[in-house]
Amino acid sequence: MHVLLGLLAIGNATESHGAESEVLYSLHVPIARVAPGSRIEVQLAALNRGPGDVAVAFPPTLTGQLRNTTEQATVELRAEDATGTQPRIAAGSFAVRSYILEITQSAAPGLTTLDVSLADAGVVRSALEVDATAPSAPRIATTRGAQRPVAILGRSQPAAAALRQTFINRLDTHEPIYFIYGPDAPAAKFQFSFKYKLLEFGKGGPQRMTRTLQFGFTQRSLWDIDADSSPFYDTSYMPEIIYQALAPEPDRSDGWLTWLGWQAAYKHESNGRDGPISRSLNVVYVRSGLALGRLDGWHLIVAPELFAYVGTLGNNPGIDDYRGYGRLQLVLGRTDGPALAVTTWAGKNFDHASVQLDLTMPVRTRLLNFGTYFLVQYFNGYGESLLSYRTKSETVRAGISFVR
C-alpha cells in the first residue's frame, strides 16, 4: 500500500522545522498503547542539522492537545526538573528531554493524537492508542537528579554523529513489506522495500509542498519453498530514482477531498539472470494520489499511474501487451484498522486484464512492538513474475505484512 507514494504520511512521530536555526524537532511516545490512568514518558528531541552549534530551549512544561474521534482535551506535560534548560547542540547531534504525560482514567479509547505547541517551531505531533486492555505502563521513577534533565547525544561520538546525520530523516519505507504463503506453486512470495532521501529542495510548510529526490529499491521474490531443495522461481530487483512532491500535511479530521501529491521516477527491473531466461526493462512513470473521506477515519485513496518503456524490450517481446502503459490502485480503509487495496492493469489493448487484492488487518502482539498486519493477497492475471509475463495465473496467499 506504500505504492501510494508515501503520499499519505501517517506515523507515530511528526517533525517540525525551526524557521531559522536548522533545528528539527520530533515528538516520540515510547509506549504506543496505554491504559487509561497511566503516567507515561514522552520525549521531545531536537536535531541540529546546521553547520554550527545552536542553543535549543527545553521548557519545564509543555502544553498539548489529546484528540480522537470523540473528544479533545488540553493536557500539560511536565519535566521532572522544574527548571527550563537551554543546551548547546553541536552540528549533527541532537538533544532529548523527557516529559511526563498523565492519561486520565476517563480518557476515551481509540487512536489518539498528541499535538504539542512549541514557541519557536509550531506544532509537533505523535500518536498513541488508549486501550483498557493494555498492560500497565512501567512505573516512572520520581527521584529528582537520578538522570540528566537533557541528554545530548553525539557531541563526543563523531562516528555515531556521522551515522545519525546519514540516516535520520532520510531512510523510509517505500513499497509494502511482507511474507505470504499459499497452496499453489510457487507457494511463497515475499517483498521488502525502502527509499533513501538524497536531496531536499527547500523546506515544506503549511502552504508549501515538500520536494525531494529519493533512491528507492524493491525486491520481490517467488519461492517454490515446497519443492525439492526449495529453489527460488524468480526474483525481481527494482532500483529507481524518484522525484517526490508531497502536498502540505492536511488536517486529518476535516474535509472530504485531499490531494496527496505526486511522484515521477526512472525505474529499472531485472531478474538478475542471463541467457534465455534473462529479463530486464526500464520505465519512467508518474503517479499521483487523492484521498476521499476523513484521514483519521474511513477513506478511499485513488492512485493512478502512467508509465512508458525506455530502451529496448528485446528479452521481453510484447510485454506491453500484458502490462500496458498504466495501472490504477484503490485503497479503502482506516489508518488504524483494516484496509483493502485493489491494483489493476489491462494491457496495451485492454485484453489482458490483471488484478491484485490485498486485504490487511492490524495485528497487535507483545512479541513485536511495531506495526504488523495479517495479509491475504489474491492475484488473477498475467505476469506475477517478470519471467512469466505471458502466463495467466490465479492464486491466494496469506501471511504477515510489516508495511502495507
CATH number at residue 83: 2.60.40.1930
What pLDDT does 151 receive? 53
Q: Are 221 and 263 found together in one domain? A: yes
pLDDT tens digit sequence for 113-138: 899 988 777 888 888 888 887 766 55
Report whether pLDDT(395) > 90: yes
Of 132, 164, 196, the last residue of a domain is: 164
With respect to residue 1, please indicate whether it lies within any of the assigned structural domains: no
With respect to residue 357, please indicate whether it lies within any of the assigned structural domains: yes
Report whether pLDDT(156) > 70: no
Of 109, 132, 164, the last residue of a domain is: 164
Task: Choose between 206 and 77: higher pLDDT.
Answer: 77
pLDDT tens digit sequence for 2-60: 545 344 433 333 444 433 457 888 888 877 788 888 888 898 888 888 777 888 888 88
pLDDT tens digit sequence for 139-149: 454 433 333 45
Task: Give the contacts of 260 (CB within 8 A, at least 6 positions apart).
Answer: 4, 5, 7, 8, 246, 247, 288, 289, 290, 291, 301
Calculate mean pLDDT across residues 317-345: 93
Q: Are 253 and 153 found together in one domain? A: no
Asked whether 99 and 84 are in contact (CB, 8 A), the reply is no
Task: Give the contacts of 148 (CB within 8 A, at least 6 positions apart).
Answer: none
Q: Domain count of the chain?
A: 2
What pLDDT does 381 receive? 96
Of 127, 144, 164, the last residue of a domain is: 164
**Which residues lie across from 180 on neighbouring strands?**
189, 399
Q: Are 119 and 224 found together in one domain? A: no
With respect to residue 2, please indicate whether it lies within any of the assigned structural domains: no
- Let me know how long the chain is: 404
With respect to residue 3, please indicate whether it lies within any of the assigned structural domains: no
DSSP conformation class of 249: P
Q: Are 282 and 195 found together in one domain? A: yes
The x, y and z cell numbers of residue 306, run together, are: 502512467
Q: Are 137 and 183 found together in one domain? A: no
What pLDDT does 148 receive? 43
Residue 207: which CATH number?
2.40.230.10
Calculate mean pLDDT across residues 201-227: 84
Report whether pLDDT(81) > 90: no
Q: Are 53 and 121 found together in one domain? A: yes
What pLDDT does 31 receive? 76
What pLDDT does 221 receive? 96
Task: Choose between 89 and 266: higher pLDDT.
Answer: 266
Calculate mean pLDDT across residues 75-82: 83
Q: Are 108 and 194 found together in one domain? A: no
Q: Are 156 and 182 found together in one domain? A: no
Calculate mean pLDDT across residues 182-195: 95
What pLDDT does 118 receive? 87
Task: Give the contacts of 367 (CB within 8 A, at least 6 positions apart).
Answer: none
With respect to residue 116, please indicate whether it lies within any of the assigned structural domains: yes
Nearest-5° angle of CA 173, CA 270, CA 277?
145
Range of the domain at 63: 15-164
Report whether pLDDT(194) > 90: yes
What pLDDT does 367 receive? 67
Calculate mean pLDDT across residues 265-278: 90
Q: Are 346 and 316 found together in one domain? A: yes
Spatial CA neighbour of 121 closest among 213, 27, 252, 217: 27
With respect to residue 46, please indicate whether it lies within any of the assigned structural domains: yes
Task: Give the contacts of 165 (CB within 8 A, at least 6 positions apart).
Answer: 49, 92
Q: Are 354 and 208 found together in one domain? A: yes
Give buried/exposed letters for 49-82 (b at 16+ CB in 10 A, else e). bbeeebebebbbebebebbbeeeeeebebebbbe
What pLDDT does 398 receive? 98
Q: Are 146 and 241 found together in one domain? A: no
Of all helices (H) and strands (E), which one includes residue 163? helix 158-167
What pLDDT does 167 receive? 56
What pLDDT does 47 receive? 85
What pLDDT does 34 receive? 86
With respect to residue 344, please indicate whether it lies within any of the assigned structural domains: yes
User: Cβ atoms within 10 A of the Cβ of 292, count?
Assistant: 14
Q: Are 46 and 23 found together in one domain? A: yes
What pLDDT does 111 receive? 86
Spatial CA neighbour of 208 closest among 397, 17, 2: 17
Give buried/exposed letters for 205-216 (b at 16+ CB in 10 A, else e). eeeebbbbebeb
With respect to residue 6, please indicate whether it lies within any of the assigned structural domains: no
Task: Choose between 225 and 28: higher pLDDT.
Answer: 225
Overall pTM > 0.85: no
Whole-angstrom Cα distance, residue 325 to residue 306? 6
What pLDDT does 355 receive? 97
Spatial CA neighbour of 280 closest among 232, 316, 309: 316
Which pLDDT band, with edges at 50, 70 and 90, does 215 fall under? very high
